[in-house]
Chain A
Amino acid sequence: MGVFFLRRLGTMLLTALVLTFIVFFLTNLQPNLEKVAKFEGNARMTDAEVASWLEKRGYTQPLLKRYGEWLGVSKGWTYTSDEGRVTGRCIRDNIPAEEAPQRCGLLQGDWGQSSVFKVSAGKVVSEKLALTGRLMLWVMLLMVPLALIVGILAGMREASVLDRTLSTFSIVTTATPEYVSGVIFIAVFTSSAVGLKWFKGTATQAMENPTFENFFLPVLTIALYGMGYIARMTRASMTEVMTAQYIRTARLKGVSFGNIVMKHALRNALIAPFTVIMLQFPWLLNGVVIVETLFNYKGFGWALVQAAGNNDIQLLLAISVVSVFVVLVTQLISDIGYVYLNPRIRIS
């Protein structure tokens, strides 16, 4: 187990490094840098001015060197202007150049400055993550029990009336992406054209004061799309378990149907859905971006759209670090949980 864990951790680190490097490469391509220069400096700069702007800010160094600076393993750049003023990656207004640390990157806890929000990218990410965390918590609380119940009810009697109805329901939800179901929900429940007006069409207020009225629709929109898939997986694994020999034995022994489902079948049937739920996280991230844009909830996904739209390099890198971390950790948990739940699998 220890060796397995270490190997997984090593692969994780390597994956994270490669992925952040890809993001770094794509955001630091020449046209993107020119866009940054024009965004932060002056929109009407000439090519020569752009070039000198980039040089003064250390963007002309080799890519790997700058990636190292961002990570915090190589020394930050410094630039001495004609008047002898020293500027550099780690030199801030309140710290003189001599006292500034040589390295300031991810390893030193410095996430860089977000150019859109004008604060530290780490601060933006942590604030937005808290908001999205709340959204995800409610999504999970709604989605997981609902999906498991639907899956188990459908799978306990295969081809029954209940099974067919619930299976159709879960197929419909998997076929409805968030931007379709969200639009339909907004149209039906919030618009003045239909006139139901049960909920609010935006979740902006939910950032400070989440209520059922302004928070339920975004949660439902994300939960429904993810739910169908988990429910179908649960149903498949439940039907498989229900045809197993030991269930037949229990039935012949005279155990009641409820007891068979609850005591004999459930634990074995839940192994597959557990991994699926964990692997659903990267997908949920997609849903979060769509729903936060649709409902104007200014969380992590909304920040991603803002950062990507304005080529905010530092923020994009911070966001990709966090999301890659979330994906990899959930993969690890799903592997470990699979081993823990299923005694038949032992890792050598």
Chain B
Amino acid sequence: MEPLSWTGSIAFLNPLLMLALAALAISIVVWILGSILLPEAPINVNVDGTVSSGSGLFGLVQTILRYSFFACVALSVAYIVLGILMGTGAGIIGAISQQFLPVWLSLVILFAMSVAFKRRLGLYGKLFDSPIGMIGFGLVMFWVFTGVFGALDLIVTHDPLTQVSGMKNKVPGTPLPSPEEGEYAWYLLGGDNLARDVFSRMVKGAWIVVQIAPLATMFAFMVGITLGLPAGYYGGRLDTFLSFLANLILAFPVILLFYLLVTPEIVATGVPNYMAAVLFIFPILFIGVLLNSRYYTRPNFRTPLLIGVLGIAIWLYLSLISTGGYIVNTETYSIWGLPTYLDLFNIPGGILVVFVSVVFVNSPTVFRIVRGLALDIKTRDYVAAAQTRGEGPWYIMLWEILPNARGPLIVDFCLRIGYTTILLGTLGFFGLGLPPESPDWGSTINEGRRLLSIYLHPALPPALALLSLVLGLNLLADGLREESLKD
């Protein structure tokens, strides 16, 4: 087997791309300088009273910018399409784009459907009016699909934990020394210092982030909302107390907290299990109060609904916090949990403690945001109207204040997923919590950085992956903010 070059037989596109990129870079610089130095285009008043402005030199630069940008995008698409068609014939880039085929297809379908029906899709549809939001959404969905398909073993070329002898620290595109029948014959992005496939590890790492980050953020939001709404609405002692607690956690340096919480010794004492038991009860409280405050006037409907929903929620809660029949199981004592035959899923202690500490670190910030919003909104007229109507305080909080605070909360949710991703990476970077072989991005960066002065390829792919995902989430949040402000 030949080693793969980066672009293989589509190398004729490279000079074109270089040219387009150079044109783009130059026109951006000229554009910025021009906006400061060049005079503004003269405005002419026409006979019929309308005004028109000449395009001038500045307009010309803008046109060049637009076309060179389109050229770059078209060339990138050409790389991907040719790569999908030619596979390894088009080098590493071709092979990678072929591996990502399910992701491309899902992205195309998702975008086509969303753009076609965007007027009926509310805020989500409006996202497709903003280019920034679309780019962000595209980046985020790319990694979400990569995570999901990677977990289904569609994208990965090798097992992320298998070591192939002779592939230690090999550069991207190196063929396997003796590939077996049906085995992928190359390490597309090279091998790391334990001779594992960097590409497959990166793809598998996406699944870890896609699983944990949104879920942990959602739990943090449930905790923050359930505590922040009453703190803002009632005020007084409750507010003082809860704010003190939130400031307490916020004053803790995050890394110190992680180092104290996410160690095997602490896991052995069961402290994370207690924290999980406390933190995960908030979603149940939230859902219970939410439904009860809405339907308590119709007990015939409310009671079966609550029994059904809370039953399932409590079952999930118990299976979440109990492992092997115990909630807390230390050497000296243990607390009985759900028996194993009812336990739906088990979360390894390491993952649980990571999850709990990320939720724990994020919820005070959410609490402060929700509290501030509640303080602001409770003075509005519709809240006063609801109070006059005789609605209960929880109905007002959850069905009057919360829906009206959704805009900032959705934006913050996107930003916070990005922040959680960064936190997960930090944990991996310090080797905390996640198992040492785990392919998550933080751990891979940490392993790769030791040999960084000689071998770049093990550390850079996960670093760029993390960067692009967090960037996507930030852009998405920006697009959402812009579009929600337009109303």
Q: Which residues of A contact B463 (CB under 8 A)?
A: 179-180, 183-184
Q: What's the tally of chain A residues with a CB closer than 8 Å to chain B?
A: 57
Interface residues in B16-54 (C-beta closer than 8 Å to A): 28, 31-32, 34-36
Q: Which of A177, A305, A324 contacts B259 (CB 8 A)?
A: A305
Q: Which residues of B contact A286 (CB under 8 A)?
A: 253-255, 426
Q: Which residues of B contact A180 (CB under 8 A)?
A: 425, 445, 463-464, 466-467
Whether A32 sits at the interface, judged by CB under 8 Å, is yes
Whole-angstrom CA separation of A89 from B271 in the bound complex: 29
Whether A87 sits at the interface, judged by CB under 8 Å, is no
B459-487 interface mask toward A, CB cutoff 8 Å, 1 = contact, 0 = none?
A: 11001101100110111001000000000
The answer to whether A193 and B456 touch across the interface, beta carbons within 8 angstroms, is yes
**A328 in contact with B251 given A290-B426, A308-B256 (CB within 8 Å):** yes
- B contact residues, range: 35 or more
Whole-angstrom CA separation of A165 from B31 in the bound complex: 10
Whether B429 sits at the interface, judged by CB under 8 Å, is yes
Whether B116 sits at the interface, judged by CB under 8 Å, is no
Whether B268 sits at the interface, judged by CB under 8 Å, is yes
**A27 in contact with B260 given A175-B467, A289-B255, A290-B426 (CB within 8 Å):** yes
- Least Cβ–Cβ distance between B35 and chain A, in angstroms: 4
Whether B317 sits at the interface, judged by CB under 8 Å, is no
Interface residues in A153-193 (C-beta closer than 8 Å to B): 160-162, 165, 171-172, 174-177, 179-180, 183-184, 186-187, 190-193
Whether B448 sits at the interface, judged by CB under 8 Å, is yes
The answer to whether B252 and A324 touch across the interface, beta carbons within 8 angstroms, is yes
The answer to whether A308 and B31 touch across the interface, beta carbons within 8 angstroms, is no
- Least Cβ–Cβ distance between A110 and chain B, in angstroms: 22
Q: Which residues of B contact A161 (CB under 8 A)?
A: 31-32, 34-35
The answer to whether B256 and A31 touch across the interface, beta carbons within 8 angstroms, is no
Q: Which residues of B contact A304 (CB under 8 A)?
A: 255-256, 259
Q: Which of B260, B430, B471 contacts A305 (CB 8 A)?
A: B430
A309-348 interface mask toward B, CB cutoff 8 Å, 1 = contact, 0 = none?
A: 1010000100110011001100100000000000000000
Q: Which of B265, B425, B478 contacts A31 (CB 8 A)?
A: B265
The answer to whether A179 and B454 touch across the interface, beta carbons within 8 angstroms, is no
Whether B410 sits at the interface, judged by CB under 8 Å, is no
Whether A250 sits at the interface, judged by CB under 8 Å, is no
The answer to whether A165 and B32 touch across the interface, beta carbons within 8 angstroms, is yes
Interface residues in B79-116 (C-beta closer than 8 Å to A): none
Whole-angstrom CA separation of A29 from B445 in the bound complex: 32
Interface residues in B436-472 (C-beta closer than 8 Å to A): 442, 445-446, 448-449, 452-456, 459-460, 463-464, 466-467, 470-471
Whole-angstrom CA separation of A39 from B452 in the bound complex: 32
Whether B167 sits at the interface, judged by CB under 8 Å, is no
**A183 in contact with B259 given A161-B32, A165-B32 (CB within 8 Å):** no
Whether A42 sits at the interface, judged by CB under 8 Å, is no
**A324 in contact with B425 given A29-B269, A187-B456, A305-B259 (CB within 8 Å):** no
Whether B156 sits at the interface, judged by CB under 8 Å, is no
Whether A251 sits at the interface, judged by CB under 8 Å, is no
The answer to whether B454 and A192 touch across the interface, beta carbons within 8 angstroms, is yes
Whole-angstrom CA separation of A180 from B248 in the bound complex: 29
Q: Which residues of A contact B422 (CB under 8 A)?
A: 177
Interface residues in A188-213 (C-beta closer than 8 Å to B): 190-194, 201
Whole-angstrom CA separation of A309 from B432 in the bound complex: 10
Q: Which of B36, B256, B429 contacts A319 (CB 8 A)?
A: B256
The answer to whether B32 and A183 touch across the interface, beta carbons within 8 angstroms, is no
The answer to whether B256 and A320 touch across the interface, beta carbons within 8 angstroms, is yes
Q: Which residues of B contact A305 (CB under 8 A)?
A: 259, 430
The answer to whether B253 and A285 touch across the interface, beta carbons within 8 angstroms, is yes
Interface residues in B296-341 (C-beta closer than 8 Å to A): none
**A192 in contact with B453 given A15-B251, A187-B459 (CB within 8 Å):** yes
Binds B, one of A18-26, A95-103, A270-278: A18-26
Q: Which residues of A contact B265 (CB under 8 A)?
A: 29, 31-32, 35, 311
Q: Which residues of B contact A289 (CB under 8 A)?
A: 253, 255
Q: Which residues of A contact B32 (CB under 8 A)?
A: 161-162, 165
The answer to whether A19 and B248 touch across the interface, beta carbons within 8 angstroms, is yes
A35 to chain B: closest residue by CB: B265
- Least Cβ–Cβ distance between A38 and chain B, in angstroms: 11
Whether A115 sits at the interface, judged by CB under 8 Å, is no
Whether A61 sits at the interface, judged by CB under 8 Å, is no
Whether A259 sits at the interface, judged by CB under 8 Å, is no
Interface residues in A3-47 (C-beta closer than 8 Å to B): 11, 14-15, 18-19, 22-23, 26-27, 29-32, 35
Whether B399 sits at the interface, judged by CB under 8 Å, is no
The answer to whether A282 and B28 touch across the interface, beta carbons within 8 angstroms, is no
Whether B250 sits at the interface, judged by CB under 8 Å, is yes
Whole-angstrom CA separation of A30 from B332 in the bound complex: 11
Q: Which residues of B contact A31 (CB under 8 A)?
A: 265-266, 268-269
The answer to whether B269 and A30 touch across the interface, beta carbons within 8 angstroms, is yes
A290-315 interface mask toward B, CB cutoff 8 Å, 1 = contact, 0 = none?
A: 10011000000100110011010000
The answer to whether B36 and A183 touch across the interface, beta carbons within 8 angstroms, is no
Chain B residues within CB distance 8 Å of chain A: 28, 31-32, 34-36, 244, 247-248, 250-256, 259-261, 263, 265-266, 268-269, 271, 418, 422, 425-426, 429-430, 442, 445-446, 448-449, 452-456, 459-460, 463-464, 466-467, 470-471, 473-475, 478
A-B contact pairs, 17 of them (CB 8 A): A26-B260, A26-B271, A35-B265, A174-B474, A176-B471, A180-B445, A183-B459, A184-B464, A187-B459, A190-B453, A191-B453, A193-B454, A193-B455, A282-B254, A286-B253, A293-B430, A308-B259
State the 6 A-B residue pairs at the shortest beta-carbon distance, nearest first. A308-B259, A161-B35, A31-B265, A175-B471, A175-B470, A177-B422
- Known: A177-B466, A286-B254; 11 extra A-B contacts, CB below 8 A, are A15-B244, A15-B247, A27-B260, A31-B266, A176-B471, A179-B429, A187-B452, A193-B454, A282-B251, A304-B255, A308-B259
